[in-house]
Amino acid sequence: MKTIKYILAVFISVVFSVSALSQTSYNFNDGLTAAKSANKKILISIYIDGDSWCEKMQSVYSGESIKNYINNNFIFIKLNGQGSEKYNYNGKQYSASDLSKLFGATGYPTHVFLGSDGSILKFKYNGEVLNCYSGYVDAAEFDKILKFFAGNQYKDTDLSKIL
């Protein structure tokens, strides 16, 4: 009987530990809906399968402080830049691939930030107005980018001055 209780206790601990470590992510349509109801900004991670930089970026997302900051401040959407899934955006239907192009993704990984209403949060980088930030970013720089958008600095500060 003690063995069964012990095994059950270990199992419950493992289940709760794994769920505590997980990153909450949404598909595109569900993420837009969740952002509206939670009044949170949206972080879209545009990736492609099998890309080493996208996989490396995934390890940044799963770091404890980054994961917690994303979960507390954003609705996190993962979008396969080569996907054929269909999503609705601004009254039109797009494939995941077409959506990634619409957002300006030219390489992977790419990060796009939207307002809770789904509008693209444009920002300046070296004086140029952009829709997205492309490329792998280490945890320290990604933390700065997250805070840049969460704190509304994107409205009046050039991102290149932060990084």
Query: For 91-131, what is each residue's pLDDT tens digit?
Result: 999 999 999 999 999 999 999 999 999 999 999 999 999 99
Question: Measured on CA atoms in the order 23, 28, 34, 37, is the torsion positive or negative?
Answer: positive
Go through the domains of the chain in sequence order and give each one's CATH number: 23-161 (3.40.30.10)
What's the predicted TM-score (pTM) here? 0.85
Q: Are 144 and 163 in contact (CB under 8 A)?
A: yes
Each residue's pLDDT tens digit, 25-71? 999 999 999 999 999 999 999 999 999 999 999 999 999 999 999 99
Alpha helices (H) along the chain: 2-21, 28-38, 52-61, 64-73, 96-102, 139-150
